[in-house]
Structure 1
């Protein structure tokens, strides 16, 4: 029986469907991976070691886009704050929301060749950090605003008017410096501009703007001034859901980051919503700057992407059953990738539980979003750098809208 689309757009469904794959993997009933839980302690110890090295005081921030804006030992956010210091706290939060949404949507794997030279600091960056810096500079240039008198915003017309030439120039793309999925990223942003016009209750009426989401979320807080992370996630899913290309639709609704695996009974659907959750995690800090307290944080899941998933393969928590799958590239819809991502989601929960147990901390004291930051993502990158100069263990064919 096919489930309703709203179910498949929930973190509950992500965990439930991924757990079905996990149970089968533990019984060695999947085609591509086997879960070796005897390695869980060793992997947890490695993640804990990396976390303690990175954050000796254990003041771990959220795993979000904001961490990348400080790359190269330079605070770009301080630079932005100096420009916006005359604005009200509400307007400053809107600017941050404008920035982080476009930056996350432009962050979907850069490929191994692309790099970005930042004129302001004289530094060269690659991968997620490079995309963060490039998108930051593009935002500060006013490229996403249709109002020259107010460049630091992202409005619908500004997005719709973007063209490939602009994106190539801003991201320094050339035949010698190719960026994976550039056209996919452009279409994503252009479509977002159109979608924003359909939801004036979220983005505003006269000049639909991403930052206006702040007004909506302020209206959704409870009497104690708390806002559910699920509310932010649901807003992202509902407000931006139509932008994702080439995905499954159900009852006329674009399901987004939802794929199929034959081991799942009936409909075979396995949801992940990686970018939507990454964006949700990244939106929480601007909202906290207004005094909102975030609840239900651990209702969200770990991120099914190649750093977290790569960690599990590289340290033996996930065993590859067919070594030849490491030799070819795979598209996101392939069962190899769906299996890998699904198992990663559950294993991140297992690692988080084991870390809390070792440290004698509660979920509130060490939420999953901090385990990711401290953490599994950092450890996954570290081990990949040691083994393959930073490349993930599985080769991915990305269109710039999944990873």
Structure 2
């Protein structure tokens, strides 16, 4: 049954997909009920209650496993951050990748070279940070097992998210997203719309012996990003530049304070049309939102990538003078490291003993259910971790629990249980979710 009878819920591939799309979202629009972190938590809780009651044919739920998971996560945090000073979980950590146990402060060095380290440049520095991080997050789909990036700053071969992060940082620093001659540190819609496969292949050192999964899709996503920014002057200005989002958010701040939920909602609406092949409600794309019968209206919003982008916006926004409040309104990220951790520790157990033996699609009910359970499970683990560390939610928000944290613990347990550290089961994805 359609929970929004006044709306038109359809696949994004339809003839009218995206037509009538408005940003900012008009008050009372039916899509608003699904485009928030509150909606993610609410609908995931509905699925979790369904599984916990024993009604699911796909998974069983074992909250008694939470203390053991929290102990493992707490130990991981203490190993990585003995002083418990943990940064936010964000793309910025990948920009710092170096050799084993080392970090490289590429952002500081870039700002120094550009003469942008002074307090009088803080607002432009924030715009540049946003210019950098939005395309970089969109480029962070799985790289595949064989791809590597040689980083000149650390003289290391980097792979996975770290390699993709540093490669996109270097591309940005060289002016790869700029349409302004002599002003490389910006991301302009005009340039993004002209990104081609050869540009990405060259920047990411792709060769026959160094293949990168989804090359065409990455270039297409950046072009679509440019088109959407160009069509959204209310948020990205005219001519459109991604960094102008800072000015939009600053204009909506109150006494220099802005809620994380507002940042997320802005990104969900403004960037919603970037994602291909998704559901649309009354002309508004719903993004990372999937069908599950146990949720109200049969839909479960998850918004993993956009929430991660929101987490990744915290540092440039704060550097620009804004205080981002209500961080724990955001949810944990339902992806293969966090979700793999909870799966490996049997918080959720598949009823099919052969579940891990074959690949799954992103939209199938089992994966939607596993991701919804991950969101609920991360909230339980986060509170138990704080109790173990003797820290409050205010001192140690979810953004730090994830970084310290569940994401690192998911990678750690995967490496202990499976050669090479892959997820506990495989997923077929177009790169816009995981």
Q: Name the TM-score, length of structure 2 as normaliser.
A: 0.89
For residues 54 and 216 of structure 2, the distance between their equivalents in structure 1, rounded to whole angstroms, comes to: 39
Picking from 133, 146, 150, the partner of 1:100 is: 133
Picking from 372, 390, 398, the partner of 1:368 is: 398
1:170-189 equivalent positions in 2, closer than 5 A: 170-189=203-222
Structure 1 spans left out of the alignment, 5+ residues: none
- The alpha-carbon deviation at position 320 of structure 1 amounts to 2.1
For residues 222 and 109 of structure 1, the distance between their equivalents in structure 2, rounded to whole angstroms, comes to: 38
Picking from 373, 393, 396, the partner of 2:427 is: 396
- Between stretches 178-187 and 273-282, larger displacement belongs to 178-187
For residues 124 and 359 of structure 1, the distance between their equivalents in structure 2, rounded to whole angstroms, comes to: 35
Structure 2 spans left out of the alignment, 5+ residues: 5-29
For residues 174 and 247 of structure 1, the distance between their equivalents in structure 2, rounded to whole angstroms, comes to: 32
1:17-36 equivalent positions in 2, closer than 5 A: 17-36=43-62
Is 1:145 matched up with 2:186?
no
For residues 334 and 208 of structure 2, the distance between their equivalents in structure 1, rounded to whole angstroms, comes to: 30
Picking from 93, 106, 110, the partner of 1:76 is: 106
Is 1:37 matched up with 2:70?
no
For residues 112 and 336 of structure 1, the distance between their equivalents in structure 2, rounded to whole angstroms, comes to: 25
Picking from 141, 156, 160, the partner of 1:127 is: 160
For residues 113 and 30 of structure 1, the distance between their equivalents in structure 2, rounded to whole angstroms, comes to: 38
For residues 236 and 390 of structure 2, the distance between their equivalents in structure 1, rounded to whole angstroms, comes to: 43
For residues 202 and 368 of structure 2, the distance between their equivalents in structure 1, rounded to whole angstroms, comes to: 34
Deviations 1:274-312 (A, max 9, x none): 110000000011111122211111111100100000000
Other-structure match for 1:220: 252
Between the two proteins, the alignment pairs up a number of residues equal to 400
Other-structure match for 1:109: 142
For residues 208 and 128 of structure 1, the distance between their equivalents in structure 2, rounded to whole angstroms, comes to: 28
- The alpha-carbon deviation at position 86 of structure 1 amounts to 4.3
For residues 176 and 263 of structure 1, the distance between their equivalents in structure 2, rounded to whole angstroms, comes to: 46
- The alpha-carbon deviation at position 117 of structure 1 amounts to 1.5
Picking from 262, 272, 277, the partner of 1:241 is: 272
Q: Name the TM-score, length of structure 1 as normaliser.
A: 0.96
Picking from 226, 250, 270, the partner of 1:193 is: 226
Is 1:279 matched up with 2:309?
yes
Other-structure match for 2:15: none
1:46-85 equivalent positions in 2, closer than 5 A: 46-72=72-98, 73=102, 74-85=104-115
Is 1:229 matched up with 2:291?
no
- The alpha-carbon deviation at position 264 of structure 1 amounts to 3.0
Question: Does the aligned pair in 2 maintain the 1:182–1:400 contact within 8 Å?
Answer: no
Deviations 1:193-222 (A, max 9, x none): 1111222121111x2100111111111221
The alignment's C-alpha RMSD in Å is: 1.5
Deviations 1:101-157 (A, max 9, x none): 111111122222222112343211111101101101111111111122111110001
